[in-house]
């Protein structure tokens, strides 16, 4: 049995603590879910903060089984406690996982409600990320009522790249309900469009309506985990942050990150109103990188003091080496001793704020840098290289 009585007890106890903690720490308010549709449910939600599962759970008076990254299951001692108390469902990020589907089916048959963040990743740029169409196949397999849960204000309170929480307000509530009778009449394309349309949020357009302020003395701190290209001099890896400011160490560009999530240029040229537009620009620079005509020894990206380790799925992490990493047009090297051919990298994702994980042949590896390390640029460029190698025109760059 996956569904156990202790999970109901644990959720009841945690709900009391987190209702107070999340209000005072995140300014989070929620709406209790009430309806006459019999559970279990499949809950789908957009994803902004690290504590979204705890926030979402407050709206419900029963335990929820969250699909979680398998990285959570290989933390010494802690993973065993988490599995015992709340029994999350392991999922390999950015990879299809038949075991996850089987676990979801088993829980649903036992009467347990399941929650999935179908983006599979928290947004860096404030806009809902890509949702794989495969979510529709799971919906049709489980045949459960689907609850679409919506977070608002989350990007303002805690952007993924940020080093601190801002004082502001965010809320969560069930936004739409889709019963089996409703979606059984729809095509897969119609279901997918309904899900993506109703989970989509643009934090900047949203805040034009909400008119919220998100206050902090270091609003831009660690934004170099996300932004890696200068809009003025167009150089890579030159961006750094200082409290409320985004600065280019090459040309001296200075941009202020404001309380309403907008950008104000203080020095240099930057035509962007928000970081989503900046992100679109840096991805465009990636796409314009001419892989074919690059010299074999041309260095695309390089970073020092990076830890490489292997992740044994849901078991443990093994230290491999520590040193510099370098990305070329056909390979990624670590500490000059470990070489990964790009053609054999099947998938790349970013964990947490800036931990790079990639799937190489049948193994999983992680690259972990300092607080300012930008893992996103490696993900974007590796996908661009792979797209070139495979002749893909409509390019997907990861996030």
CB-based contacts of 5, cutoff 8 Å, min separation 6 = none
CB 255 within 8 A of CB 266: yes
pLDDT of residue 399: 73
Q: How far apart are CA 205 and CA 198, in angstroms?
A: 15
First-residue to last-residue Cα distance in the chain: 36
Laid out side by side, the sheet with 245-248 consists of 239-242, 245-248, 254-257, 263-267
**Pick from 273, 263, 259, 227: which is nearest to 375 by CA?**
227
Q: How far apart are CA 1 and CA 73, in angstroms?
A: 19
Q: How far apart are CA 314 and CA 74, in angstroms?
A: 5
What are 184's two structure tokens? 């059984």
Residue 40, preceding bond cis, omega within 30 degrees?
yes
CA 289 to chain centre: 25
What domains are defined for the chain?
5-210 (no CATH), 223-287 (no CATH), 301-390 (2.30.29.30)
**Pick from 328, 329, 327: which is nearest to 291 by CA?**
329
pLDDT of residue 315: 62
* CA quadruple 93, 98, 99, 100: dihedral, nearest 10: 50
pLDDT, tens digit only, all 399 positions of the chain: 899 899 999 999 999 999 999 999 999 999 999 999 999 999 999 999 989 999 999 999 999 999 987 666 666 667 777 787 788 888 765 555 788 899 999 999 999 999 999 998 899 999 999 999 999 999 999 999 999 999 999 999 999 999 999 999 999 999 999 999 999 999 999 999 999 999 999 999 999 998 999 999 999 999 999 999 999 999 999 999 999 999 999 999 999 999 999 999 999 999 999 999 999 999 999 999 999 999 999 999 999 999 999 987 666 788 999 999 999 999 999 997 899 999 999 999 998 899 999 999 889 999 999 999 999 999 999 999 999 999 887 778 887
Q: Considering the entire predicted model, what is its pTM?
A: 0.91
Half-sphere exposure of 388 (CA within 13 A, CB side): 18
pLDDT of residue 281: 98
pLDDT of residue 246: 98
Angle, in degrees to the nearest 10, between helices 275-287 and 376-390: 40
pLDDT of residue 313: 66
């Amino acid at each position: 049995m996956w569904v156990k009585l202790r999970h109901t007890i644990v959720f009841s106890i945690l709900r009391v603590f987190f209702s107070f903690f999340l209000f005072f720490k995140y300014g989070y308010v929620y709406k209790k879910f009430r309806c006459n549709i019999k559970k279990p449910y499949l809950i789908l939600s957009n994803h902004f903060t690290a504590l979204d599962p705890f926030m979402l759970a407050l709206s419900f008076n029963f335990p929820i089984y969250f699909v979680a990254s398998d990285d959570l299951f290989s933390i010494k001692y802690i993973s065993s406690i988490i599995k015992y108390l709340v029994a999350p469902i392991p999922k390999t990020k950015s990879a299809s996982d038949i075991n996850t589907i089987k676990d979801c089916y088993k829980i649903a048959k036992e009467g347990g409600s399941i929650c999935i963040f179908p983006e599979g990743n928290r947004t860096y740029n404030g806009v809902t990320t890509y949702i794989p169409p495969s979510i529709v196949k799971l919906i049709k397999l489980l045949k459960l009522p689907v609850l679409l849960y919506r977070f608002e204000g989350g990007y303002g309170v805690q952007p993924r790249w940020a080093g601190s929480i801002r004082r502001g307000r965010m809320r969560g509530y069930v936004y739409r309900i889709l019963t089996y009778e409703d979606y059984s009449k729809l095509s897969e394309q119609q279901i997918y469009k309904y899900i993506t349309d109703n989970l989509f949020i643009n934090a900047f357009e949203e805040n034009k309506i909400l008119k919220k302020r998100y206050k902090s003395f270091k609003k831009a701190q660690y934004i170099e985990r996300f932004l890696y290209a200068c809009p003025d001099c167009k150089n890579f890896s030159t961006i750094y942050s200082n409290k409320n400011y985004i600065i280019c160490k090459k040309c001296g560009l200075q941009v202020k990150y404001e309380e309403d999530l907008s950008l104000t240029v203080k020095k240099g040229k930057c035509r962007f109103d928000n970081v989503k537009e900046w992100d679109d620009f840096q991805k465009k620079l990636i796409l314009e990188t001419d892989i074919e005509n690059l010299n074999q020894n041309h260095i695309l990206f390089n970073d020092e003091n990076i830890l490489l380790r292997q992740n044994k799925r849901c078991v443990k992490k093994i230290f491999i080496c520590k040193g510099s990493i370098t990305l070329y047009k056909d390979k990624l090297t670590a500490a000059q001793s470990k070489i990964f051919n790009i053609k054999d990298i099947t998938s790349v994702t970013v964990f947490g704020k800036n931990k790079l994980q990639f799937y190489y042949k049948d193994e999983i590896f992680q690259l972990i840098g300092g607080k300012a390390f930008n893992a996103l640029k490696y993900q974007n460029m590796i996908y661009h290289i792979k797209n070139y190698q495979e002749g893909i025109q409509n390019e997907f760059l990861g996030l």
